[in-house]
Amino acid sequence: MSSPNTLFLVGTAKGLVVYRKEVKGLPVQEAIHFSGFSINMLFIDERNGRWWAGISHKHWGQKLHFSDDQGKKWYNAAIPRFSGELMPSGKPARLRGLWCMQHGGEEYPGRLWLGTDPGGLFKTEDNGKSWELVNSLWEHPSRQKEGQWFGAGSDFPFIHSIERNPLNSDHIYIAVSCAGVFETLDGGVSWRPKNNGLVAAYLPNPDVEVGHDPHKLIICKSNPNILWQQNHCGIFYTKDGGDQWIDVSATDGLPNYGFGIVIDHDEPSKAWVIPVESDESRIAPNLRMEVYQTNDFGQNWFSTSEGLPRDQVFDIVLRQAFEVGGGGFMMGTTNGNIYYSDKATIHWHLITSHLTKVNVVTTG
């Protein structure tokens, strides 16, 4: 059963839309913020309830805002900045996008992590009043080697997933497109790649240590040795903290490629993905949008798509736009459609078809 007043925040290319889900009934629209501006990053800090929104202005670049009263008032936060760092090409690095945020754990009440394009990881110890680049990752030896960090659908690499071990706040995983998964055990002092078992089929050597393209990374909250990822080259999970990744893509090709993935944190053998046909076309396979579920770590996959359109569609779901929380799923599409389903009995309901491209969905 859903908990009372579950909130879903939906970041679109033209604003932030808030939906509220009561115990009974479907989510209903409650508010709109930042009308006309592209919302690329959303995060709710469970420690204090603060909302964070990363906005991409066409004229003013990247902006970061926060609210402590569920959007009644918004405040400007400091913007992370590069200060003389160079890209491998020799050109100065500049902030191009805000991708993801993660809090630093209860023992570090002011700590937040922020992942950006071009592949910079920033940290604050004062709740966003100031940011510092994590130089140990920026200067990682793999980044200095040609062909190991590079753009995927973007000109530059970007950090889109930051996952914290709930039992050890100094233990962090990040995912970079393209580079792969990296791990720190000491709060960012040092980093090591964790890509054994992954496949980079687009490279001359598909078994490279660095050069992989995870599309989305998730750590299991109840068993942090288990992580899942939707990768450019398949669906993978690990039971040993990333020492070895196991390919669990369906043998018939569906599901395989895609962007979003969610898991059941109480039953980590369960995961849901939304297939996409290919990186070239980026359409739903056979123009039919479907959600696939596994209950056994990917040994078997089956469609859980009741209620989704059976006609041809051109919607896909981006990596940050598929979320589970409060006993239900919500996903937003590139054509501005929002679908919701209870988790106990999956049946998708169209909540609205009047939004623009959905970049991110989060819940709290």
% of the chain at pLDDT higher than 70: 99
Q: Strand 61-67: give its sheet, edge to edge.
A: 38-44, 51-57, 61-67, 75-76
Asked if pLDDT for residue 14 goes beyond 80, the answer is: yes
Nearest-angstrom CA–CA distance, 106 and 36: 35
Q: Does residue 33 contact residue 16 with C-beta atoms inside 8 Å?
A: yes
Q: Is the pTM of this model over 0.85?
A: yes
Tens-digit pLDDT profile for residues 301-358: 999 999 999 999 999 999 999 999 999 999 999 999 999 999 999 999 999 999 999 9
Asked if pLDDT for residue 133 goes beyond 50, the answer is: yes
Do 119 and 259 lie in one domain? The reply is yes
Q: Give the range among 134-143, 168-177, 279-288 with minimum mean pLDDT.
A: 279-288
What's the rounded mean pLDDT across residues 224-249? 98
Asked if pLDDT for residue 154 goes beyond 80, the answer is: no
Strand partners for 54: 41, 64
Asked if pLDDT for residue 200 goes beyond 90, the answer is: yes
Give the pLDDT of residue 87: 86
What's the rounded mean pLDDT across residues 165-188? 98
Do 129 and 166 lie in one domain? The reply is yes
Do 159 and 241 lie in one domain? The reply is yes
Tens-digit pLDDT profile for residues 39-77: 999 999 999 999 999 999 988 899 999 999 999 999 999
| Residue 84, in any domain of the structure | no
What CATH number does the domain containing 179 carry? 2.130.10.10
Cβ atoms < 10 Å from Cβ of 269:
15
Cβ-in-10-Å burial (0-12, 13-18, 19+) of 48 comes to: exposed
Cβ atoms < 10 Å from Cβ of 328:
22
Q: Does residue 143 contact residue 149 with C-beta atoms inside 8 Å?
A: yes
Instruction: Round the average pLDDT of the chain to a whole number and report it.
Output: 95
Domain finish residue from 309, 324, 356: 309
| Residue 193, in any domain of the structure | yes
The 8 Å CB, 24+ separation contacts for 200-208 are 200/232, 200/233, 201/233, 202/232, 202/233, 203/147, 206/233, 208/148
% of the chain at pLDDT higher than 90: 90
The count of residues in the chain is 364
pLDDT band with cut points at 50, 70 and 90 for residue 1: very low
Do 240 and 330 lie in one domain? The reply is no
Do 140 and 276 lie in one domain? The reply is yes
Cβ-in-10-Å burial (0-12, 13-18, 19+) of 17 comes to: buried
| Residue 44, in any domain of the structure | no
Count of domains observed in the chain: 2
| Residue 82, in any domain of the structure | no
Do 223 and 356 lie in one domain? The reply is no
Instruction: Quote the DSSP letter at residue 100.
Output: E
Asked if pLDDT for residue 3 goes beyond 60, the answer is: no
Question: For the residues of 1-38, what is the DSSP string, one character each?
Answer: -PPTTEEEEEEETTEEEEEEE-SSS--EEEEEESTTSE
Tens-digit pLDDT profile for residues 257-312: 999 999 999 999 999 999 999 888 999 999 999 999 999 999 999 999 999 999 99
| Residue 198, in any domain of the structure | yes
Asked if pLDDT for residue 10 goes beyond 60, the answer is: yes
- Closest by CA position to 217, among listed 175, 248, 177, 166: 175
Residue range of the domain that includes 258: 93-309
Strand partners for 63: 55
Do 278 and 345 lie in one domain? The reply is no
Do 328 and 231 lie in one domain? The reply is no
Question: For the residues of 226-263, what is the DSSP string, one character each?
Answer: -EEEEETTEEEEESSTTSS-EE---TTSSS-SEEEEEE
- Closest by CA position to 325, among listed 272, 273, 364, 270: 364
Give the pLDDT of residue 2: 41
Tens-digit pLDDT profile for residues 114-124: 999 999 999 99
Give the pLDDT of residue 155: 84
What's the rounded mean pLDDT across residues 187-212? 97
Do 222 and 301 lie in one domain? The reply is yes
Strand partners for 10: 17, 361
Q: Does residue 361 contact residue 331 with C-beta atoms inside 8 Å?
A: yes
Give the pLDDT of residue 4: 61
Do 182 and 64 lie in one domain? The reply is no
Nearest-angstrom CA–CA distance, 320 and 332: 9
Do 353 and 282 lie in one domain? The reply is no
Strand partners for 165: 168
DSSP H stretches of helix in the chain:
135-138
| Residue 161, in any domain of the structure | yes
| Residue 87, in any domain of the structure | no
| Residue 47, in any domain of the structure | no
Cβ atoms < 10 Å from Cβ of 253:
11
pLDDT band with cut points at 50, 70 and 90 for residue 152: confident
Do 126 and 268 lie in one domain? The reply is yes
